[in-house]
Structure 1
Amino acid sequence: MSTDTETMVLTRVFAAPRELVYRAFTDPEQIAQWFGPVGWSVPRDTISVAPHAGGGYKMTMVSDEDPSMASPIDSTFSEVVENELMIGSEVFEGRALTMKVEFADADGGTRITITQGPFSREMAEMTREGWESSFTKLDALLKA
Structure 2
Amino acid sequence: MTQSVVLNNTASNAAGEGRNGFATLVFERDMAAPAETLWQAWTAPAARAVWAAPSPAVTVEFLEADTRVGGREISLCKVDGQPDMRCECGWLDLQPPLRSVNYEVISCEGETQSIALVTASIADLGESSRLSVTVQLSSLAANMEGGYRDGFNAGLDNLAGAVERTMILQRVIRAPRSVVWGAWMNPETLPQWWGPDGFSCRTTRIDLCAGGEWVFDMIAPDGTVFPNHHLYTDVRPNERLSYTLLWGENGPKHADAWASFEEENGATKVTLGMVFSTAAEFQEAKGFGAVELGQQTLGKLENFIKAG
TM-score, structure 2 as length reference: 0.41
Q: Which position in structure 2 is the counterpart of 1:16? A: 175
Report if the CA contact (8 A) 1:28-1:48 is conserved. no
User: 113, 117, 129: which one pairs with 2:292?
Assistant: 129
Instruction: Report the count of equivalent residues.
Output: 138
Match of 1:85 in 2: 240
The answer on whether the counterparts of 1:13 and 1:112 sit within 8 Å (CA) in structure 2 is yes
**Aligned residue for 2:303?**
140
Structure showing greater relative contact order (alpha-carbon pairs closer than 8 Å, 6 or more residues apart): 1
CA distance, structure 1, for counterparts of residue 213 and residue 233 of structure 2 = 9
Matches within 5 A, 1:33-52: 33-43=192-202, 46=203, 48-52=205-209
Q: 1:33 to 1:51 in 2, by over 3 A?
A: closer
**Larger-gyration structure (1/2):** 2
Q: Following the alignment from structure 1 to structure 2, what is the Cα–Cα distance between the partners of residues 55 and 141?
A: 24
Deviating runs (4+, > 6 A) in structure 1? none
Which amino acid in the other structure matches residue 260 of structure 2?
E
| Distance 1:47-1:110 versus aligned 2 partners, 3 A rule | farther
| Aligned-partner Cα distance in 2 for 1:49–1:23 | 15
2:180 and 2:305 in contact (8 A); partners too: yes
1:52-131 aligned at under 5 Å gives the runs 52-66=209-223, 69-92=224-247, 94-118=252-276, 119-124=281-286, 126-131=289-294
Aligned position for 2:184: 25
Question: AA paired with 1:62?
Answer: I
Deviation (angstroms), 1:65 = 2.6
Q: Cα RMSD between the aligned structures? A: 2.2
After superposition, what is the alpha-carbon deviation per residue over 1:62-121, rounded to whole angstroms, capped at 9, x for unaligned? 12332xx11122111111101111011122373441001001101211111111021422
How does the TM-score come out when normalised to structure 1? 0.83
Please say if residues 7 and 124 of structure 1, whose CA atoms lie closer than 8 Å, have aligned partners that are also in contact: no
Specify every segment of 5 or more residues in structure 2 that has no aligned partner in the other structure, as ranges: 1-161
- The 2-side partners of 1:41 and 1:15 are apart by 24
